[in-house]
Structure 1
Amino acid sequence: MIRRRRVPVPLLALCLAVGLSSGCSVVRDAATWKMTPSAGPAAAGASAGTSAAPNLTQPAFDVKPLIKPAHKYIGLEMPGAPSSIAPAEQFASWVGKKPNLLGAYVGWNTGLDTQAVKNAWAYGALYFQVWEPFGVTMQQIAAGASDDYVSRFAASVRSLNLPIALSFGHEMNGDWYPWGTKQTAPADFVAAWRHVHDLFTKVGATNVIWIWDPNDIYPVPNIQLQPLYPGDQYVDWIGVTGYWTVNGPHTYSSLFLPTLLDIRKFTAKPFIIAETGVQAGSNQVASVNALFNAVATHDDILGFVWYDYNRQGDWRLENRPTVQAAFRSDVAASEFGFNVGAAR
């Protein structure tokens, strides 16, 4: 699903000037907060869940082996994937290794795209849904206004009984989303998160890896992360969104380390870089190398998700031969990539 975030040109220039360090600061515009239904199978209501009573004849898929696997995730967010597996196959041909975490941005009141989940699984990848709760407040979710929708969605997840990774209300420490700091108090965000999680648990949908995904703290240094954290019993992975830039952060120590050190004050959950890319420029190859080195040398960083879009800047690697070559060389290391289905 093509990402639906926009930023006016003057704001984009400002973002670049201060160091487009987030996924984040790439694309924010209040106009997109009034979302239209997404294109594709999910938006059309495919597998939206017609009953809140899932088939429980089989135990829920055990996601524990996928929460801390022996090898690293190489994730991909790319137009068309994983509703079609062709983009992932194309990406694999460019970099020499198959991505094993395939992400899609999904709007609120949109059903589970069961075909996308199946496509990812058959390909050897984990489906990663970035769930964007537009059109509803965190207070309303916590109070039960979306219970029917969430329960039906959770029932679809349980009935399909394949693993999915789920990020709810990402980049909540920024002010560019309605569920962010400008419109939502931390306590309301936490209450909504816990309520959604509890509804999944109620229908037995434990085949989910829950990802709490703040933005890196560079553009929002005064926002405290701990008050936004739902608690270890509600979270499996800590996802951090951050982009390697020319004029802003472009080293591990400046981009991700400050955020990770802050988070380590209140949880020991493993990290995944949930959305990242490298801005074109003089340090783009060094940034790719730094990304891989950071993931390879830190046991508690499980991998990363590459944002391969031409949107508010061209983040694709396929039209940058030196970046593609650096990616191909680095990903060849044995610790990167594995067949998700074989990790059970």
Structure 2
Amino acid sequence: MLRRPYVPLLVTGLALACGMLAPSGTQASEGPHPGSRVTATTVAGPAAAAPTLIHPQRKYLGVFREGAPSSMRPVEEFGQLTGKQPNLVLYYAGWGDGFHASGVRNAWNRGALTVVSWEPHGTTLAAVARGDSDAYVRRYAAAVRTLGIPVAISFADEMNGDWEDWGTTSATPEEFVAAWRRVHRIFDEAGADRVIWTWSPNITNAIGDSVRLADYDPGDAYVDWTGIVGYFTDWDPHTFDELFGPTIDEVRALSRRPLLILETGAVPGARRAEHIRELCEGIRARPDVIGFSWFDKKARADWRLETEGDGIAAFRSCVADERYGFDVRGLPFGSR
């Protein structure tokens, strides 16, 4: 779903950080160098005996809010609104932007993992695949390695739709897979190994049967999470299973990797509270869905939670569940 205008990220020095309380009952580690990999055999889903960042036993509660993670105040305010502090912070980076190390550090120091939605505007996937951006990607990977803090990266999300510069009208599935694998390989060569690679298609029932996710999947050797993008609207299905089920079924035919609802929201109106309850109950019923991230911005629709009291109440009830929220600093990175 095209739900936001593209605004390039400008990183200008260290960001101003504001306090954010870690969830009660968690043990936070100190220092910026956590998340060492474990060597246990990769498990099939998030319900591993020993929880990790990749396979947590509890759910991520995420949010996109403008200004974060340069400042964590927007995230803290969202936590005050909803009754629980998010432990996942999403932001958007343009192709050519530097790695936002200070923002990732801000989030981590307050118990949250950052997800970078890395959007290749101003180039083509064919150009990325043939190496035109290698020098830039190497610099980015080196910055990620130097920081040493785990981060999730969603490269070229919603690739199965026709509205993005890298979508179905601008690139082939083969170009997408080749570009993804090339970027991944450069990170591996740079030693930037604390990245949770997040492959993020849009819900398929908004697209039709002509586009097959199997054609766009880089494979388990290159992907850690599947991040699904889908929004509750007045014209789309109104239940979790109807909105996300077809996509989950198609993904599950490809892989058992953990699922994250990477971007979601519900349009204001009479059904917003109902939609939020559907989102919550649907995720609660699926151990393989490790959480969600709310797109809290006024764009083509006003996705901001604060606009409706009934929606706020439903959201607060949802995330009051003890399964939501944990201090990410207390978990190892995990194995793939």
Give the TM-score, by structure 1 length. Answer: 0.84
Q: Which residue matches 2:9?
A: 38
**Cα offset, 1:177, TM superposition:** 1.1
Query: Are 1:78 and 2:49 counterparts?
Result: no
Task: Work out whether 1:230 is the aligned partner of 2:196.
Answer: no
Say yes or no: does 1:151 pair with 2:141: no
Q: Using CA pairs under 8 Å that are at least 6 residues apart, name the structure with larger relative contact order, 1 or 2.
A: 2
SS in 2 for 1:66: coil
Question: Which sections of structure 2, spanning at least 5 residues, go unmatched?
Answer: 16-31, 39-51
Q: Assess if the C-alpha contact under 8 Å between 2:34 and 2:329 holds in 1.
A: no
Per-residue CA deviations over 1:121-169 (Å, capped at 9, x if unaligned) read 0110001100000111111111111111000100100010000000000
Do structure 1's residue 296 and structure 2's residue 273 form an aligned pair? Answer: no
Q: Give the Å deviation of 1:27.
A: 4.7
How far apart, in 2, do the equivalents of 1:127 and 1:261 lie?
27
> 2:3 aligned to 14, 21, 26, which one?
26
Q: Are 2:179 and 1:185 aligned?
A: no
Deviations 1:21-80 (A, max 9, x none): xxx14357xxx6xxx7434438x9xxxxxxxxxxxxx99943661001111000000111
Q: Quick one: which of 311, 319, 326 aligns to 2:314?
A: 326
Report 1:93-108 matches (<5 A): 93-108=80-95
Q: Secondary structure at the match of 1:302?
A: strand
Distance 1:216 1:37, change over 3 A: closer
Distance in structure 1 (CA, Å) of the matches to 2:9 and 2:281: 36
Say whether 1:277 aligns with 2:248: no
Note if contact 1:130-1:170 (Cα within 8 Å) is conserved in structure 2. Answer: yes
Letter in 2 for 1:82: P
CA contact (8 A) 1:60 1:204 kept: no
Aligned residue in 1 for 2:274: 286
Equivalent pair of 2:8/2:93 in contact (CA under 8 Å): no
2:27 match:
none
- What residue in structure 2 maps to residue 18 of structure 1? none
In structure 2, distance between residues paired with 1:219 and 1:27: 17
1:261 to 245, 249, 260: 249
Q: Percent identity?
A: 42
| TM-score, structure 2 as length reference | 0.86
Amino acid in structure 1 at the alignment position of 2:9: S
2:36 maps to amino acid: D
SS of equivalent residue, structure 1 residue 67:
coil
Mapped contact 1:246–1:282 kept (Cα < 8 A): no
Following TM superposition, by how much is the alpha carbon of 1:250 offset from its aligned partner in structure 2, in angstroms?
Answer: 1.8
Separation in 1, partners of 2:306, 2:175: 41
* Structure 2 residue 130 is matched with structure 1 residue 163: no
SS of residue matched to 2:12: coil
RMSD of Structure 2 on Structure 1 (CA): 1.9
Relative to structure 1, the CA distance from residue 107 to residue 73 in structure 2 (aligned partners, 3 Å threshold; closer, same or farther) is same
1:92 equivalent in structure 2: 79
- Find the aligned partners of 1:157 and 1:224 in 2 and give their Cα distance: 32
Q: Is the 8 A contact 2:9 2:92 kept in 1?
A: no
